[in-house]
Amino acid sequence: MAKYEVCSTSIVLGKKRNIYKKQGSTKQYIKSKGRMMQLKKYKALKAAKSAKSAKSAKSVKSTSTKTTKRVKRPSVKRATKPKPVMGWF
């Protein structure tokens, strides 16, 4: 297994993250979900995921803006139990 070394700390997509490098390589890696992933691929993955969620949120928002009239139902009075009398009167 390749050995990774912390090369720097930087802000990646709004979070402070450690940047790693493999021995004998110039590529940058980041630890994500317990695995090492290339920083370039990590950014692309997160950008695609956020674009997908934004697209789905937009479609949900457009379908949920339809308004319907609410009909007010007449209130029905329900029979209630008599309250128990406390003490000796």
Ranges of each domain in the chain? 1-43
Write phi, then psi, for 61 (nearest 5 degrees).
Answer: -65, -40
User: How far apart are the C-alpha atoms of 71 and 11, rounded to whole Å?
Assistant: 53
- pTM for this one? 0.55
Per-position pLDDT tens, the chain of length 89:
578 989 899 888 888 999 999 988 899 999 988 899 999 999 998 888 878 777 776 665 655 556 667 788 888 777 888 777 777 65
Phi, psi (deg, nearest 5) at residue 79: -70, 135
